[in-house]
């Protein structure tokens, strides 16, 4: 793999410094039944999340969302749930409902409290312009979930 192919972060931010990016890599490895990704670099695991606008345009929204993309979406939202669990100690769960056309919802909840609700559209094209954008979106969702969890602690208890 050449340097041009490797997704890069700003010089001030590395995957090791980004807890959310580490959480996604951890989720990918946790669902790797055969240990294929055990020795892969985190940057390489996160590379499928990075799509340029041109790459997104090439992906057809006709037909089913492929299982690999569904897995990436699930790992992303499980990482959000994991980060909320780390900060609050509350068990968080993820539910994703995708239609065959790529539309649906991603929900992260704890107890009876809905922490994150995200509408998914054109899920076939799920991705981000850079690792920095991936981290920003994930951390934004985590912060929203944390705000709700601290605001309504009695609802988030089982």
What does the mean pLDDT of the chain come to? 90
Give the position of tokens 């020795």. Answer: 39
Mean pLDDT of 82-93: 95
Predicted structure pTM score: 0.89
28-48 average pLDDT score? 93
Q: Are 24 and 79 in contact (CB under 8 A)?
A: yes
Structure confidence at residue 98 as a pLDDT band (50, 70, 90): very high
Q: Where are the beta strands (DSSP E) in the chain?
A: 93-98, 104-110, 113-120
Structure tokens at 86: 């780390």
Task: Please tell me the distance from the alpha carbon of residue 13 to that of residue 15, in angstroms, as a whole number.
Answer: 7
What is the rounded CA–CA span in Å between residue 102 and residue 64? 7
DSSP annotation string for 50-84: B--HHHHHHS--SSPPPHHHHHHHHHHHHHHHHHH
148 pLDDT above the threshold of 80 = yes
Q: What average pLDDT does this structure show over 58-65?
A: 91
């Amino acid at each position: 793999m050449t340097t041009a192919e490797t997704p890069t972060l700003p010089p001030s931010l590395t995957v090791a410094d980004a807890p959310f990016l580490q959480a996604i890599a951890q989720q990918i490895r946790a669902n790797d039944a055969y240990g294929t990704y055990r020795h892969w670099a985190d940057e390489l695991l996160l590379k499928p999340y990075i799509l340029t606008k041109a790459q997104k345009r090439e992906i057809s929204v006709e037909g089913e969302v492929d299982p690999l993309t569904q897995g990436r979406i699930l790992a992303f939202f499980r990482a959000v749930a994991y980060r909320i669990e780390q900060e609050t100690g509350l068990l968080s769960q993820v539910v994703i409902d995708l239609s065959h056309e790529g539309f649906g919802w991603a929900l992260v909840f704890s107890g009876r409290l809905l922490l994150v609700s995200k509408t998914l559209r054109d899920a076939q094209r799920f991705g981000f312009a850079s690792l920095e954008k991936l981290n920003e979106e994930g951390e934004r969702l985590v912060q929203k979930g944390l705000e709700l969890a601290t605001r309504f602690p009695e609802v988030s208890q089982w």
